Amino acid sequence: MQNANAPESSLIGEEYEVEVGPVAHGGHCIARTEGGRVLFVRHALPGEKVVARVTEGEETSRFLRADAITILDASKDRVEAPCPFAGPGKCGGCDWQHAKPGAQRRLKGEVIAEQLQRLAGLTPEEAGWDGTVMPAEGDKLPPGEVPQWRTRVQYAVDAEGHAGLRKHRSHEVEIIDHCMIAAQGVSELGIEKRTWEGMASIEAIAASGSNDRQVILAPRPGARLPLVELDKPVSVMRVDENDGGIHRVHGRAFVRERADGRTHRVGSGGFWQVHPKAAETLMLAVMQGLTPRKGETALDLYCGVGLFAGALADRVGDQGAVLGIESGKRAVEDARHNLADFPRVRIEQGKVESVLPRTGITEVDLIVLDPPRAGAGKQTVHHLAGLGARRIAYVACDPAALSRDLAYFAERGYKVRTLRAFDLFPMTHHVECVAILEPVKKDV
C-alpha cells in the first residue's frame, strides 16, 4: 500500500511483515525486510513479529523509518500503552509506553552498551559499569502506572489555539487533554483546558524545589498576548519574536529549585534538570565519583546556574577554588547570584572552547563537564586531558556523544573508572550517564 500523495519514489505507506531485531539508539528497533531493507521500527520490541508501515523513506534511502501497526507475535515485555495519545501516528513525546518499566531500563542499558562498544571500544566491564540503569527514587511503579516526572512541558499550539504535543518527527500537533508524564504541578495549571489564540507554543514549568509556577508564551508573528487565567497562580514570560529573548510579563522572572541543601534561582526558562530527583541524583553521583578534597581546584564546564560548581565549592572549602564556564548570559547571572556566598568561585560567560584557553589555566585537580547533547568534542576533550586532573566527571544525556568523547579522552591518557546510568526520562528513550575518568598510570 502506498500513500497517494507521496512522490513516485516514496515508500511511505508500504507495509512489511518483519521479525524485530535489537533496540537502536533513538527509541526504535532494527528490522529487515525479506529484500534486506533496513527498517527503524517504533512501537515495537525486540523479538516481536509485526506489520510495519513505512513513515519515511524512498527507494534510494539507506534505511526506512516505520511504525509497528499490528503486533503478530508480542514480546513478554509488552503492555498496553497507559496513555491514550501514545502509539503510531500519535504524540511523539514517549517512545516506550508499550514496554514494562523494567524492560525500558534494560533497553536503555543495551543502547548504552552498544554505543560504548561501537564508538569507544569499551565493554561494560572496561567502563566500570554493571550494566544496570537505575530508576529515580519513587519511579519504580507497576506496569500500567506512569511516573509524573516532567516538570517542564513544551506544548505546541495548533491554528485553532488548542494545546498539544508534537507528533514524532513532525510539526503536526496531537491535541491532548492531559500528559501522563507531566508533573502534578504542570498538570494542575490546566493548560490543555483553554484555547491559546495567536500562540505558537507554551512552556509550562513547575519547580520541584518550591511552589513556583511559570508559563513562557511564544506568540505567532504579530499576535497579542492573551490574558493568562490558569487554575493555579503562575508567573508569565514571553518570547520576543524578533530576538528570541525571554521577557517578564508579570510575576517572578525565575523559579526556585533545590539541590544539595541549597536554593538555586533559574531564570527565563533557563536549564534545570526536568525530573524532580535528577539534580540531586546527578550531583551525588558526581561528588561520590570525584571525592573532592579541601583545598583542591576544580572546573565546572557548561555549568548552567551553578549546581555542580556550588557542590564543589562547598567541598573544596575556603582554600580551594572553582571556575565555572557557561555560554548563556542569564544562566551566568543566576549562577553568580546562586554562588555569591562562595568568594572562591568565579563564573565566566562564553563557549567553553573559547573561554577555557583564555583563562591561562594549565593544571587543575578536578573537572566536571555536562555538555549539550552533541558532546564536548575532540578539541575540548584534548585540552581538558592536558590539565592533569586527578579525576574528571562527565555527565551525559546522550550515550553516543559520551562514547565518542570517551574515545577522545582515551587518546590522551584517560580511562573510565566507573560509569553509572540513571533512568531520569521514563517512557522515553533518553537516559543520563555519569562517567568518572582518571589518568592511566604509566609504568615506571
> Dihedrals φ, ψ of 248, to 5°?
-75, 135
- In terms of residues, how long is the chain? 444
pLDDT category, 242, cuts 50, 70, 90?
confident
Is residue 397 annotated as a catalytic residue, yes or no?
yes
* Helix, strand or coil, per DSSP, at residue 435: strand
Burial class (CB in 10 A: 0-12, 13-18, 19+), 166: middle
Task: Report strand pairing: 173-175 vs 235-239.
Answer: unpaired
* CB 143, CB 101: distance < 8 Å: yes
Q: What percent of the chain has pLDDT over 90?
A: 93
End-to-end CA distance of the chain: 68
pTM recorded for the entire structure: 0.95
Which grid coordinates belong to 44? 515495537
Nearest-angstrom CA–CA distance, 411 and 405: 10
Per-residue model confidence as pLDDT tens digits over 247-294: 999 999 999 999 999 999 999 878 999 999 999 999 999 999 999 999
* Helix, strand or coil, per DSSP, at residue 72: strand
* CB 361, CB 387: distance < 8 Å: yes
User: Catalytic: which of 94, 179, 303, 397?
Assistant: 397
> Dihedrals φ, ψ of 237, to 5°?
-125, 160
Which grid coordinates belong to 5? 500523495
Arithmetic mean of pLDDT, 114-123 = 98
Position 4 scores a pLDDT of: 54
* Helix, strand or coil, per DSSP, at residue 404: helix
Instruction: Report which of 347, 333, 348, 397 is spatially closest to residue 370, judged by C-alpha positions.
Output: 397
pLDDT category, 1, cuts 50, 70, 90?
very low
